[in-house]
Amino acid sequence: MRPKRTLIFFLIPFIYFFGWSSFISRSQLRAPRTFEKGISFTGYSREAYFGWPAEQSLQNLRKTNARWISLLVTGYQDNINSTYIDYKGINTPSDDSLTHIISYAHQLGLKVMLKPHVDLLNDPDHWRGQIGMNFDEALWSQWFNSYREFILHSALLAASNGVEQFCLGCELDKTVSRVEDWRQLIAAVREVFPGLLVYADDQLESHPEAITFWDALDFIGQDLYPTLSSKLQPSVSELCLGWNRLLLKIKALSDKWGKPVLITEIGFRSVQGGAQNPWDWQKTGPVDLVVQRKCYEAALRMVAGRVYLAGMFWWQWLPDPDIGGPKDTGYTPHGKPAEKVLSLRYLLPL
């Protein structure tokens, strides 16, 4: 049967504007129409998201004009060779705590991406990106069984509480070559969670081809902590030049897979040298509020209007309203000049 011409004529303007591949892409059809203006809300205790401090902190976050939070829940394994992930211990927010803060976020008009992490309890010489580096086939099977339990538990909680988006992995660099294991996990999550799915990779600059299962997800997730200038006190213009290089790589990844890139994490500390190796959470030095402000300004200026970007989530905002301020050298923008930049930029279209 021949298609009706009226339908074709109706579709032509949309196909012309978006491009045919984007128009028919499942991920594009499901993706939000607006840039996700997000901040990571990160608690590290059983009751982290309960009580008035967490609620007050979330109210403060909302004043930045953010529209999304990335809500952290961390499971723990002992070291990189462990195959058991504990997500019921004292350092992991309880289900009741998560349920409470999800509900409160929705009351404030915030959308939620639940973002499970895996960290190491007793292995200071390694990090999550090295998990599995010594595994054989049997150990891989054991680890993925435990990880699958953690992720499906989190996905079910997300689904039952109306969470809009789910990140089913973060910076697990040594695991991503296990493509079939990841595809099976993604399919299992799809069975229980109806929202949008993303994985948070961190290898854009070192190994951008590492992930080969982006087609199974709605977004290409990237945790970005790039050195954009070698200067201790770079100007905003110099930082923007560094962003030009980074954006070329982001766009190439988006073009290759026909999907938008979601910046699942980005952050800069208010510490001297904060523009170099921004991933270094242990860097010591005096407070530098200016370098953090400039990094925020450059990033927010450079992401604006990029149709291949779905949004960004700033690292980080903690559920203690007293953390931050002009003497703090951490990542949070709370009570610092960077917060004012964020609030003004998030008020505008991106």
State the alpha helices, DSSP H only, in 69-134.
95-107
255 assigned to some structural domain: yes
| Domain CATH number, residue 272 | 3.20.20.80
Q: In this structure, are residues 297 and 54 in contact, taking their beta carbons and an 8 Å threshold?
A: no
Contacts of 149 (CB under 8 A, 6+ apart): 85
Dihedral sign computed on CA atoms, order 26, 28, 33, 35:
positive
Rounded Cα distance between 273 and 230, Å, is 9
Vertex 192 angle, CA 160 and 201, to 5°:
100
Q: What is the pLDDT of residue 259?
A: 97
Q: What is the pLDDT of residue 225?
A: 97
Q: Calculate helix-pair angle for 95-107, 137-160, nearest 10 degrees.
A: 40
Q: In this structure, are residues 167 and 264 in contact, taking their beta carbons and an 8 Å threshold?
A: yes
Rounded Cα distance between 39 and 54, Å, is 14
For 5, 181, 204, 247, the CA distances from 61, given in Å and listed in that order, are 50, 37, 28, 27
Dihedral sign computed on CA atoms, order 120, 331, 70, 309:
negative
pLDDT in tens, 24-77: 334 443 444 589 999 999 999 999 999 999 999 999 999 999 999 999 999 999
28 assigned to some structural domain: no
State the alpha helices, DSSP H only, in the chain.
5-18, 20-24, 26-30, 51-62, 95-107, 137-160, 179-192, 236-257, 289-303, 337-347
What is the 3-state composition of the chain as percent helix, strand, coil, each rounded to the nearest 5? 40, 20, 40
Q: What is the pLDDT of residue 33?
A: 52
10 assigned to some structural domain: no
Q: Is 99 helix (H, G, I), strand (E, B) or coil?
A: helix
Rounded Cα distance between 134 and 83, Å, is 11
8 assigned to some structural domain: no
298 assigned to some structural domain: yes
Global confidence as pTM = 0.90
Q: Which residues of 239-254 are buried (b: 16+ CB within 10 A; e: fewer)?
A: bbebbeebbeebeebb
Rounded Cα distance between 259 and 215, Å, is 8
Count up the domains in the chain and report the number. 1
135 assigned to some structural domain: yes
Q: What is the pLDDT of residue 131?
A: 98
Q: What is the pLDDT of residue 12?
A: 33
- The tens place of each residue's pLDDT in the chain, 350 residues long, gives 333 333 333 333 333 333 333 333 344 434 445 899 999 999 999 999 999 999 999 999 999 999 999 999 999 999 999 999 999 999 999 999 999 999 999 999 999 999 999 999 999 999 999 999 999 999 999 999 999 999 999 999 999 999 999 999 999 999 999 999 999 999 999 999 999 999 999 999 999 999 999 999 999 999 999 999 999 999 999 999 999 999 999 999 999 999 999 999 999 999 999 999 999 999 999 999 999 999 999 999 999 999 999 999 999 999 999 999 999 999 999 999 999 999 999 999 99
14 assigned to some structural domain: no
Which domain range does residue 162 map to? 35-347
For 6, 189, 198, 215, 324, the CA distances from 183, given in Å and listed in that order, are 39, 10, 12, 10, 40
Contacts of 250 (CB under 8 A, 6+ apart): 204, 222, 261, 306, 308, 309
283 assigned to some structural domain: yes
